[in-house]
């Protein structure tokens, strides 16, 4: 089998797709990987062919966009800086790569060019969803903010809400350019893209377990759940000696991160440093942008650009983070309490699910102030109930998800015929 795997976005989006590529490669398949050039080394380390999406400058300009972490403006940033610029390059990459019936494309829903290639070229496509938030449901609806108001309104109002969102936000940002490209290819227009079109009619895989995102009656009928991928480059990037010594020489620290892509976390780290000082805790700060850190940190706090969570979190007391799905999954696997400070994207929904499961607490960024953060962190660390729940969920976190997903992708490729695209629905 030949697999074209697309990893679009930051590390939290790319690492799970790289993990799928690694699983497929280990089973004897040829893998070509598309992502920002920032992730070229990940592909080359594992023997993947590599197709760059954009430039490193494009990647960092997107990260520095001030609207990226504003909940009402974040989708527009993703649309204009990620989804639309990749539309034509992804399609053309797939078109050039077609040549055998055992080729399959593995891509997140944000890779609109892959869906167009399925409609036009009959490319076999597995849509990968890393989190439940992107899968629309009128039953248990993904939280769009905190508090979770979506699940206290009746279904007719939910339907009306999403029609408005589709018309004035999602389709307004995406549909004109997508449909211009489809028209060039002789394809009919589509509308309400996120109301179903983004899901492959062949195979949809959710990389999360049932207990985190229970399957809803109106999810795609061809969807299968595989579990968290839990990939963090631990095979290539171990625990730094300084951190190893720090972990050995005292009580387990609290780990703080605002995400690998966050460039606007000065307040987060300042408040975190003040909160741990009040509580007398040891801490580890993780950021690839050290200019966000306070100018001087006490000896009880150490900072690093990157540490594989699978190696560090089992030795931590708790994790304070932004609510990205990869980070959330690693905290579940480590069995430690979480304090989630969600900003945008899928983060509010992940935070709601963490708190609903009893595995942690949530603070909105506006409420993440020194006294409140210290008080909430004290409550988190002092809860025997939360710790017990975290240990139980760690036992329930599957470790074979990549094998399950790889098997599903193999079955798709083994059908041996090109996909006969169905007529795109109007939504």
Q: What CATH number does residue 265 fall under?
A: 3.40.50.2000
Both 169 and 207 in one domain: the answer is: yes
pLDDT band at 65 (very low <50, low <70, confident <90, very high): very high
Mean pLDDT score of the chain: 93
Question: Per-residue pLDDT averaged across 133-145, rounded?
Answer: 94
Both 110 and 252 in one domain: the answer is: no
Task: Supply the pLDDT for residue 235.
Answer: 81
Structural domain of 262: 241-396
Task: Supply the pLDDT for residue 418.
Answer: 54
Q: Is the pLDDT of residue 116 over 50?
A: yes
Residue 392 lies in a domain: yes
| CA gap 7, 192 in Å, rounded | 24
Distance set, CA 121 to CA 101, 118, 314, 424 (Å): 12, 6, 46, 14
pLDDT band at 419 (very low <50, low <70, confident <90, very high): low
Both 222 and 336 in one domain: the answer is: no
Task: Supply the pLDDT for residue 236.
Answer: 80
Residue 422 lies in a domain: no
Element (H, E) at 301: strand 301-304
Both 226 and 171 in one domain: the answer is: yes
Strands in 18-136 per DSSP E: 30-35, 49-52, 103-108, 124-129
Residue linked to tokens 């708790």: 318
Task: Supply the pLDDT for residue 43.
Answer: 93
Task: Supply the pLDDT for residue 69.
Answer: 87
Task: Supply the pLDDT for residue 26.
Answer: 95
Both 78 and 14 in one domain: the answer is: yes
| Tokens (6 digits) for 24 | 């497929």
Q: Tens digits of per-residue pLDDT, 279-298? A: 999 999 999 999 999 999 99
Task: Supply the pLDDT for residue 423.
Answer: 38
Can the peptide bond before residue 122 be classed as cis, meaning omega within 30 degrees of 0? no
Q: Are 40 and 61 in contact (CB under 8 A)?
A: no
Can the peptide bond before residue 147 be classed as cis, meaning omega within 30 degrees of 0? yes
Range name among 214-223, 375-384, 415-424 with the lowest pLDDT average: 415-424
Question: Per-residue pLDDT averaged across 374-399, rounded?
Answer: 96
Q: Is the pLDDT of residue 234 over 90?
A: no
Q: What phi, psi does 32 have (nearest 5°)?
A: -115, 135
Both 294 and 182 in one domain: the answer is: no
| CA gap 341, 350 in Å, rounded | 10
State the total domains in the chain. 2
Q: Are 339 and 363 in contact (CB under 8 A)?
A: yes
| CA gap 276, 253 in Å, rounded | 10
Question: Per-residue pLDDT averaged across 96-102, rounded?
Answer: 83
Both 83 and 203 in one domain: the answer is: yes
Both 271 and 325 in one domain: the answer is: yes
Residue 421 lies in a domain: no
Both 315 and 185 in one domain: the answer is: no
Residue 382 lies in a domain: yes
For the chain, what percent of residues have pLDDT higher than 90? 87
Residue 426 lies in a domain: no
Q: Are 386 and 358 in contact (CB under 8 A)?
A: yes
Q: Is the pLDDT of residue 425 over 50?
A: no
The residues with which 111 forms a beta bridge, in sequence order, are: none
Residue 423 lies in a domain: no
For the chain, what percent of residues have pLDDT higher than 70? 97
Question: Per-residue pLDDT averaged across 213-234, rounded?
Answer: 94
Both 101 and 220 in one domain: the answer is: yes
Both 60 and 39 in one domain: the answer is: yes
Q: Tens digits of per-residue pLDDT, 300-328? A: 999 999 999 999 999 999 999 999 999 99
Question: Per-residue pLDDT averaged across 389-393, rounded?
Answer: 97
Residue 19 lies in a domain: yes
Q: Is the pLDDT of residue 424 over 60?
A: no
pLDDT band at 178 (very low <50, low <70, confident <90, very high): very high
Both 197 and 258 in one domain: the answer is: no
Task: Supply the pLDDT for residue 223.
Answer: 96
pLDDT band at 238 (very low <50, low <70, confident <90, very high): confident
Residue 235 lies in a domain: no
Q: Is the pLDDT of residue 24 over 90?
A: yes
Question: Per-residue pLDDT averaged across 175-204, rounded?
Answer: 97
């Amino acid at each position: 089998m030949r697999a074209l795997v697309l990893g679009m976005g930051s590390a939290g989006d790319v690492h799970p797709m790289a993990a799928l590529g690694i699983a497929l490669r280990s089973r004897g398949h040829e893998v070509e990987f598309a992502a920002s050039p920032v992730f070229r080394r990940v592909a080359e380390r594992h023997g993947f062919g590599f197709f760059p999406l954009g430039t490193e400058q494009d990647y960092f300009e997107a990260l520095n966009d001030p609207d990226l972490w504003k909940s009402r403006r974040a989708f527009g940033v993703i649309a204009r800086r990620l989804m639309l610029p990749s539309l034509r390059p992804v399609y053309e990459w797939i078109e050039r790569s077609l040549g055998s019936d055992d080729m399959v494309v593995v891509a997140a829903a944000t890779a609109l060019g892959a869906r167009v290639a399925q409609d036009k070229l009959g490319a076999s496509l597995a849509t990968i969803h890393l989190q439940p938030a992107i899968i629309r449901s009128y039953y248990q609806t993904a939280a769009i903010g905190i508090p979770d108001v979506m699940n206290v309104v009746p279904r007719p109002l939910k339907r009306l809400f999403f029609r408005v969102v589709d018309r004035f936000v999602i389709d307004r940002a995406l549909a004109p350019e997508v449909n211009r490209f489809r028209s060039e290819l002789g394809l009919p227009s589509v509308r309400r893209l996120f109301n179903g079109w983004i899901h492959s009619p062949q195979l949809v895989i959710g990389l999360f377990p049932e207990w985190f995102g229970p399957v809803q009656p109106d999810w795609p009928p061809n969807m299968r759940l595989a579990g968290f991928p839990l990939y963090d480059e631990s095979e290539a990037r171990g625990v730094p000696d300084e951190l190893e010594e720090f972990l050995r020489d005292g009580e387990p620290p609290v780990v703080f991160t605002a995400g690998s892509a966050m460039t606007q976390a000065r307040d987060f780290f300042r408040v975190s440093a003040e909160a741990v000082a009040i509580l007398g805790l040891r801490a580890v700060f993780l950021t690839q942008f050290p200019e966000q850190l306070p100018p001087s940190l006490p000896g009880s706090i150490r900072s690093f650009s990157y540490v594989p969570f699978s190696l560090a979190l089992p030795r931590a007391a708790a994790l304070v983070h932004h609510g990205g799905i990869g980070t959330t999954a690693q905290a579940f696997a480590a069995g430690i309490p979480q304090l989630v400070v969600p900003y945008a994207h899928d983060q509010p929904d992940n935070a709601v699910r963490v708190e609903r499961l009893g595995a942690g607490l949530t603070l909105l960024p506006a409420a993440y102030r020194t006294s409140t953060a210290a008080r909430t962190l004290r409550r988190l660390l002092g809860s025997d109930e939360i710790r017990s729940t975290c240990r139980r969920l760690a036992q329930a976190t599957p470790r074979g998800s990549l094998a399950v997903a790889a098997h599903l992708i193999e079955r798709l490729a083994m059908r041996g015929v090109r996909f006969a695209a169905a007529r795109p629905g109007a939504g």
